[in-house]
Structure 1
Amino acid sequence: MACVALVTLVQRRANYDSVLFMAWEAILCAGVILAAGCCHRLRTSLGQLPLRQGLEQRLNVATVILLLVAFASPWAINFLAKRCGVGNGSEIVMLGTLGWAGLSSALLGTRSRTVSLSVVCSGFVALFATLISDVASATWFAYAWVALCMWWLVGNHWEGLESRSAEHIDRSVGLRWTYLALVLVVFVGSTLAIGHRVPVWQRLRAELMPTSGGTTGKDSAARSGVGNGDALIAAKNHATSFGAVETDMFLDSEKPSLFDVFSDEFGEPKPKESVEQAQALSPQDVQSDEGKFSEANRSSSASEFGIERKPTERKALPEDLVSNALFFWQGGAHAHLAVERFHHFDGVTWTGAPITRAEASRAAKPGAIEVEQQSWFFAPGNKFASSLSPFRGAVAEAAKFTRYGSPIIPSRCGTKLWSIDQISRADFFHYDASDCLSMPGRERVPDYTMVRFVNGEIDLEKMEQLLQHCSPGKEHVGGAKTCQEELAELAHSYADETSRGWEQVRSVVEGLRREFRHRQGNVDTKHQTALEQFLQVRSGPSYLFATVAALMLEHLGYETRLVTGFYINPKHYVKADNEYAVQGSDVHVWLEINAGHGYWIPLEPTPGYRAPRTTASIWYQAMQARWEIAGCCLVASISLSILYLLRAWIFDLLCWCCAPALVVLSDRRRVRWTAWILDVRLSLLGRKRPRGAVLRKHLSASLNLPECQSNKVRTVLEASDCLLFGNRSSLSAEQRTSILELWRELTVAKLRKLRIVESPS
């Protein structure tokens, strides 16, 4: 029970505490408590021996000092943790100290009252840690503790009744239970009668321990003071209101736009060099730009991404991740969140695909369903719910926006559902033909908006089937004439030995990740184009990796598109809120490949960035790793065969190593373990003791022991009988020495020479 309580507290602290300091505390406290237990057992086991004067007192003092060190360790480690920027409050440290006290009482306690105190301490720690935990699975620890407590109570009760007999049975109820039942009836009746009139009771009915994000109908993303809108609640008192209100519309904003973010990271795109005939304006015809949008907030094009960019200086990562974050991601690390997708490339610039008015109208209307009085929206046609979809499963994730300056909502490829609390109108969202999600009619996503997603994971088996049978992609490359031969040669060198499908695509992507090097910042394109220099120096930024991969895959007959967005950096994890702070430096470029039927699969060609998360059935994984599994099975079978042939030698080695630990065992356990070892050694000789046979007779019938060893065995067995079935309470020093010698000297190899060979009948 004490161990369950400590595990419950560790599970709670793992959400926000430092794993290094937790491991340090666990190893130190557990080691010190075990050392105290060894001192206590040593003092108890050696109590019958003629000790030097003062040795028993020294062991007692050592036990007390070790326990004090164990109880003081959590406070000392927490002090050091706070000096390093982590640490806990005093109440969590007190809970940890109480848990270690419960464990020490359980290990060292000799009185029933001490053991009962250990149960009380562990129960308080387990139940309190369960109540303050954010994870629903924490209740299983409470269930485990209650089950163990019931088992201990029942066992303790029957142990007390072993040597007693009931003289008479008294069936009276008693005044105590009568008063308790009367108080319970009055409390329940008054609660049902006037409970709806008490405001506190109404709040308790919503949730026992409410957080700032609302009731239990809202997930843990609604905590930390920002949640789903309770820090900007649009002049309402409802803590779960949306808060999508535009204020200060005509003031300059300090929030960076997507154009600012990508320009800061990759450099501003170079303007196209084109000269047209024009006539100079007279001074009175020149219009002032005062009052218009600033140049920093105006992109050169609404839907294009150029690979020829000006040099830029990289900015240092801000010390305060939270205050400088664009938005926060509550989900898995290494996620690829797309904001824009480009289909056509002219050798210099990626542009979006032209969309007809009918396609735009059809794609712009997301569907909606209602789940537990909450509206959830999905892509037009609900294509990700189809049986052909390569995305399966349901992963709950969320994005919390703070300084984000764009109406486009970053989302994964394969988003099945999304929702904003209290929003039930589908026209709040726009879902275009490129699978980009946005909030039209506004300059940016409102601050403190929490968008929840249900995302799918890539099914490798379904994706492989789609790519294997997909039709050749459409030609959409009009430039890069000077690099086409080199790109084609590079693509064939990677993919010539593979057939069309996922293996061919993966070989191209892995070839880029293996032979090219990622370098932050843009390239110098004074004398060469960006593609030419990238292929020559074999290093560059992520947008060149994605561009080259897209061109090579298109040469092999696949349709691709460029994707810009954000990559969730695991280094930007905020422990206090269990979320990732997305910075401007987290902008990233990758590509997607068309798998047919309107599905696109994200690919990550840039080394140093983890590929999107995938999943597969157990059978598919086994078939993919069949040769590795066969090799492991062969090695395991050989290892098991060697262990079987050397089992007697290994068992004797373990006995020899464990023999010094006999000093900390009680005398009863010593003789029981010794009898078990003799039985095992006889079994390894092929002389297993029949059921019901006495060990002494079986030894004499199976072995022809020398007189010296026979006397030792007889002495130990006689002492065992007296200790287990007689009135004797301890062993003598000579008998303990004989047990130690039997453990070390009476090996299987020696017994094999001394066994009695039965003559054939």
Structure 2
Amino acid sequence: MQRLLSDLLSNANSKLSRQSVEATVLAFLALFAVSALRYGVESRTLFIAEMLGIAFCFTGALFASSKTPIISAAVPLVPLVAAFIARFTGSPIAYEMTMLTMLGAAALGMAIGSARTRATSLIASGFLTLFAVAISDSQYAVLIAITWMAGCVWHLVANHWERLDLCAVENVQRSHGVRPASVLAAVVLCGISGWFVRDRFHDSTQLTFGFMPTSGGSKWSDPAARSGVGTGDAAIAARDHAESFGAVESDLFLESTESTLFDMFSDSIGEPKRKMKWERRQGLTAERVLEAHQKTAKSEKGGNSFSIDRMPAEKHLKLKDAVENAVIQWAGPTGIRLAMNRYDSFDGVEWSNSASHRNENLVRQANEGAAWFCDPSLVIRKTGDSQPNTAVNQLKVLRLDSTRLPTPMMTAGLHIKDVDRQDFFAIDDDGCYFMPGREKVPQMTVVNMASQTVLEDVLWEQVSTTDSDEPQEAELADLVESWTADCEHPLEKLHAIVDRLRNEFTFDRTFATDSDTPVSEFLKTKRGGDHLFATTATLMARELGLSSRLVTGFYVRPTAIDVGAGHSNVLPEDVHVWTEIQLADGRWFEIEPTPTFQQPIYRPSMWLVTKRFAAAYWIHGLILLAVLAVLYATRLTWIDLGLGALYPIGSMVWPRGRVSLAMRILQTRAKLAGCPRRPGLPQRDWLLSLTSTHAALRESAGRFCDAADQAAFSSLPGVLHQPSLSNELLMNLNIKTIRRLASEPRS
């Protein structure tokens, strides 16, 4: 066993030369750049297993015999195997990400090979790092490229460039290190160059003269457009990409049965319980009964009401990841909600809408040549403003049998490329956008949406209670009072209600209600679908005196994103119910009371963050101020200790400059003590004059000056191996001693 372990360590040592270690580090850095793109959008369990598999194969190749390179060849096969397993388990990995990971794993395997394979490893890891950084959306991704570049320059200097000067002379003794200076110069040069060319290059204009279909645009006209031969947003629509545009009227591209939002909710949370209305129909003839029945069914399917008293949903075996099953495609952030219907009146079982927000005369606003149609109550702030408060995303309609458009919170305006008609969009009674005069939104229509973002500061300022004339429910009122007993601000009370619902209740769409009062039953069983969570939160908000309403629509799951296509597929089972609260200025913001669904993010301003930090850590701040005051009062002592610790470190890094470093430290101490060396005064004369009143220090200073002269003017290197002279003088001649010597009278 001991011999086997010894052989393994021997094999590892033979492969882990300095060159191999440096190439391995660069390959790991390239893998990290790709992992940053994959980690947030894939199954974390499978991703971690894949990375552990790569590490295991690399370790095996490292400890294996040098005559078995087949283990190194197995390292890049791990991502391929992981891709097959992921697709088999229903969590597919994008082919592009698998290929990039295989390239990084191959670079890792080649890093411990021969000199030729190490060179290939550097090329592969460099290309992979730069490519991953180029396609990343993070502003900090460039730090990975800079780190890789610094490591590569270090590797080249250490293994290639330092050998060039050895070919010219027999012996070289450097006074400065080549590697640190080269790496620092390269990083500084690249940083300055990148800053200089930043935002100075425009998009490519090749192939824009009509030779081939192209796509182009800006943040407002087409956020997903690309220069050159892109996705063809002005050409025919493509089924699998939300970036392509085509407001077509035919069903040529899809072969499926469309369903309304009403049908989707029925499939997901169950059919609404039918109500017997024979009393109203007894006086009608047979023909009028049939006509009334058809009108009732059409009204229900139109989404004018939403019942929370439902039967158990049937279980369906559907493909969760099938693109053909998607209702819409969303090119934007995930974990958000897209509203389709809003309701403000509740009779205990059914929600309906009584408000009138209808507006068919939207404001036309031109932004960078594109025609946007905006809600008059909301303002789109242009790109050139100093503090933009809008985000532009895209929605592509696939199989939505409705004239309504699913829109995110506070959607300020809509835009369709090459469409400039005032009657194309309108706002319905409940405040949702729709296309008037149509039976449904044309399939393959791509709509650009500009929605406002709200700071948390606005919520604290704008959320206010009002007196309500609605009858109070004793059960809800008692619960609200007990849940919000320790809160003062209305927003704090609202957060307390949401936290209780998310932490103490269980989300279960299969749980059927048997009572005629679904809300009361939900409060007792603490289990139900998202429609019961949202209804309870809406009613409790009204108990606080807040204006609230129920919203139905779609939830964009974080796991639904298609990395390769750049959008998320929203399926019929992604229907969702949530709550909106009205601000004092008339706008509405969302709350998410249902667990397992991400809550909306309202970012605080820096001023609010500062106030919260000060309120939470004011005691720590006082302690820190006291510590800083003590450090400032004793600053000379700490600086003196730091200068003393600098000498042994600097003498190891720069051995030939040991004497010069000691003299600089002494001059810095004298300057801090208030008696700096006068310009033009030789260092020997200054140092001997400073120590003239102390015989031992004067003798030590004399020996130090002799050693310094020998190092400067003699070819004998002996002084390099006598650091005791500098150590002795630096230990005895500190700031306190220099200040005392300067104050003593001289003869």
The question of a shared fold, defined as TM-score above 0.5 by the shorter chain, is answered with yes
Residue of structure 2 in register with 1:151 after alignment = none
Mapped to 1, the partners of 2:647 and 2:122 lie a distance apart of: 30
The SS at the match of 1:408 is coil
| One-letter identity of the residue aligned with 1:738 | P
| One-letter identity of the residue aligned with 1:472 | D
Find 2:215's aligned residue among 213, 216, 229: 213
Q: Would you say the 8 A contact 1:257–1:406 is kept in 2?
A: yes
The SS at the match of 1:427 is coil
Matched, 1:445 2:441: yes
**1:636-664, CA deviations, whole angstroms, 9 ceiling, x for partnerless residues?**
3234345554874687479659946754x
Residue of structure 2 in register with 1:329 after alignment = 330
| One-letter identity of the residue aligned with 2:339 | A
Find 1:486's aligned residue among 472, 475, 494: 475
Q: Would you say the 8 A contact 1:229–1:450 is kept in 2?
A: no
Find 1:372's aligned residue among 364, 368, 374: 368
Mapped to 1, the partners of 2:280 and 2:148 lie a distance apart of: 82
Offset at 1:258?
Answer: 2.2
Matched, 1:395 2:398: no
**1:576-627, CA deviations, whole angstroms, 9 ceiling, x for partnerless residues?**
3544443444433211122345322222233454443435554455445542
- Listed as ranges, the matches of 1:298-309 within 5 Å are 300=301, 302-309=303-310
Find 1:72's aligned residue among 121, 129, 140: 121
Residue of structure 2 in register with 1:187 after alignment = none
Residue of structure 1 in register with 2:559 after alignment = 571
Residue of structure 1 in register with 2:269 after alignment = 266
Mapped to 2, the partners of 1:106 and 1:553 lie a distance apart of: 67
The SS at the match of 1:458 is coil
Find 2:197's aligned residue among 134, 143, 149: 143
**1:688-708, CA deviations, whole angstroms, 9 ceiling, x for partnerless residues?**
634536555555566699999
Q: Would you say the 8 A contact 2:693–2:744 is kept in 1?
A: no
* CA spacing shift, 1:66–1:323, aligned 2, 3 Å: farther
Mapped to 1, the partners of 2:736 and 2:213 lie a distance apart of: 71
Q: Would you say the 8 A contact 2:697–2:732 is kept in 1?
A: no
Mapped to 1, the partners of 2:373 and 2:608 lie a distance apart of: 32
Matched, 1:472 2:472: no
The SS at the match of 2:594 is coil
Residue of structure 2 in register with 1:735 after alignment = 720
Offset at 1:378?
Answer: 0.5
Offset at 1:559?
Answer: 2.1
Q: Would you say the 8 A contact 1:264–1:312 is kept in 2?
A: yes
| One-letter identity of the residue aligned with 2:197 | Y
Mapped to 2, the partners of 1:70 and 1:499 lie a distance apart of: 66
- Listed as ranges, the matches of 1:585-604 within 5 Å are 585-596=573-584, 598-604=586-592
Offset at 1:507?
Answer: 3.9
**1:212-233, CA deviations, whole angstroms, 9 ceiling, x for partnerless residues?**
5335685441359656464428
Mapped to 1, the partners of 2:453 and 2:391 lie a distance apart of: 8
The SS at the match of 1:561 is strand
Offset at 1:351?
Answer: 1.7
Mapped to 1, the partners of 2:699 and 2:674 lie a distance apart of: 21
Quick one: percent identity of the two aligned structures?
Answer: 26
* CA spacing shift, 1:650–1:340, aligned 2, 3 Å: farther
Mapped to 2, the partners of 1:592 and 1:657 lie a distance apart of: 61
Mapped to 2, the partners of 1:335 and 1:326 lie a distance apart of: 16
Mapped to 1, the partners of 2:145 and 2:639 lie a distance apart of: 45
| One-letter identity of the residue aligned with 2:553 | G
Offset at 1:517?
Answer: 3.6
| One-letter identity of the residue aligned with 1:72 | S
Offset at 1:346?
Answer: 1.6
Q: Would you say the 8 A contact 1:565–1:589 is kept in 2?
A: yes
Offset at 1:554?
Answer: 1.2
Q: Which runs of 5+ in 2 are unaligned?
A: 1-25, 41-46, 56-110, 137-143, 168-177, 283-287, 382-386
The SS at the match of 1:591 is strand
The SS at the match of 1:411 is coil
The SS at the match of 1:428 is coil
The SS at the match of 1:453 is strand
Offset at 1:529?
Answer: 4.7
| One-letter identity of the residue aligned with 1:379 | D
Mapped to 2, the partners of 1:585 and 1:712 lie a distance apart of: 86
* CA spacing shift, 1:250–1:704, aligned 2, 3 Å: closer
Greater relative contact order, per chain length (Cα 8 Å cut-off, separation 6+): 1
The SS at the match of 2:418 is coil
Offset at 1:384?
Answer: 7.5
Residue of structure 2 in register with 1:413 after alignment = 409
Offset at 1:419?
Answer: 0.7
Q: Would you say the 8 A contact 1:679–1:688 is kept in 2?
A: no
Mapped to 1, the partners of 2:362 and 2:199 lie a distance apart of: 48
Mapped to 2, the partners of 1:668 and 1:253 lie a distance apart of: 80
Residue of structure 1 in register with 2:312 after alignment = 311
Mapped to 1, the partners of 2:399 and 2:644 lie a distance apart of: 66
Mapped to 2, the partners of 1:716 and 1:67 lie a distance apart of: 51
* CA spacing shift, 1:231–1:275, aligned 2, 3 Å: same
- Listed as ranges, the matches of 1:7-18 within 5 Å are 17-18=37-38
Q: Would you say the 8 A contact 1:406–1:443 is kept in 2?
A: yes
Residue of structure 2 in register with 1:689 after alignment = 676
| One-letter identity of the residue aligned with 2:484 | A
Find 2:622's aligned residue among 619, 629, 634: 634
Mapped to 2, the partners of 1:435 and 1:637 lie a distance apart of: 53
Q: Between Structure 1 and Structure 2, how many residues are aligned?
A: 602
Mapped to 1, the partners of 2:495 and 2:524 lie a distance apart of: 23
Which moves more between the two structures, 742-751 or 407-416?
A: 742-751
Matched, 1:244 2:247: yes
**1:141-162, CA deviations, whole angstroms, 9 ceiling, x for partnerless residues?**
562799xxxxxxxxxxxxxxxx
Mapped to 1, the partners of 2:267 and 2:193 lie a distance apart of: 47
Q: TM-score, normalised by structure 2?
A: 0.63
The SS at the match of 2:453 is strand
Offset at 1:738?
Answer: 0.8
Matched, 1:424 2:420: yes
The SS at the match of 1:232 is coil
**1:512-561, CA deviations, whole angstroms, 9 ceiling, x for partnerless residues?**
44x42442424232368542343224344332222112111212222210
Mapped to 2, the partners of 1:268 and 1:370 lie a distance apart of: 45
* CA spacing shift, 1:699–1:528, aligned 2, 3 Å: farther
**1:290-337, CA deviations, whole angstroms, 9 ceiling, x for partnerless residues?**
xx9xx9x99656222222233346778957475654333333343332
Which moves more between the two structures, 324-333 or 553-562?
A: 324-333
Matched, 1:614 2:602: yes
Q: Which runs of 5+ in 1 are unaligned?
A: 1-5, 29-61, 88-92, 128-137, 147-201, 280-284, 386-390
**1:427-459, CA deviations, whole angstroms, 9 ceiling, x for partnerless residues?**
121211322112234454334432222221224
Q: Would you say the 8 A contact 2:414–2:449 is kept in 1?
A: yes
Mapped to 1, the partners of 2:733 and 2:483 lie a distance apart of: 60
**1:270-289, CA deviations, whole angstroms, 9 ceiling, x for partnerless residues?**
3335665989xxxxx999xx
C-alpha root-mean-square deviation of aligned residues, in Å?
5.8
* CA spacing shift, 1:225–1:670, aligned 2, 3 Å: same
Mapped to 2, the partners of 1:77 and 1:587 lie a distance apart of: 44
Offset at 1:73?
Answer: 5.4
**1:221-259, CA deviations, whole angstroms, 9 ceiling, x for partnerless residues?**
13596564644289xxxx999521211499973445323
Mapped to 1, the partners of 2:274 and 2:570 lie a distance apart of: 29
Mapped to 1, the partners of 2:613 and 2:690 lie a distance apart of: 50
Offset at 1:397?
Answer: 2.4
Q: Would you say the 8 A contact 2:548–2:579 is kept in 1?
A: yes
Mapped to 1, the partners of 2:509 and 2:693 lie a distance apart of: 82
Which moves more between the two structures, 538-547 or 749-758?
A: 749-758
Mapped to 2, the partners of 1:599 and 1:632 lie a distance apart of: 39
The SS at the match of 1:558 is coil
Matched, 1:232 2:237: yes
The SS at the match of 1:547 is helix
* CA spacing shift, 1:653–1:464, aligned 2, 3 Å: closer
Offset at 1:376?
Answer: 0.6
Q: Would you say the 8 A contact 2:552–2:577 is kept in 1?
A: yes
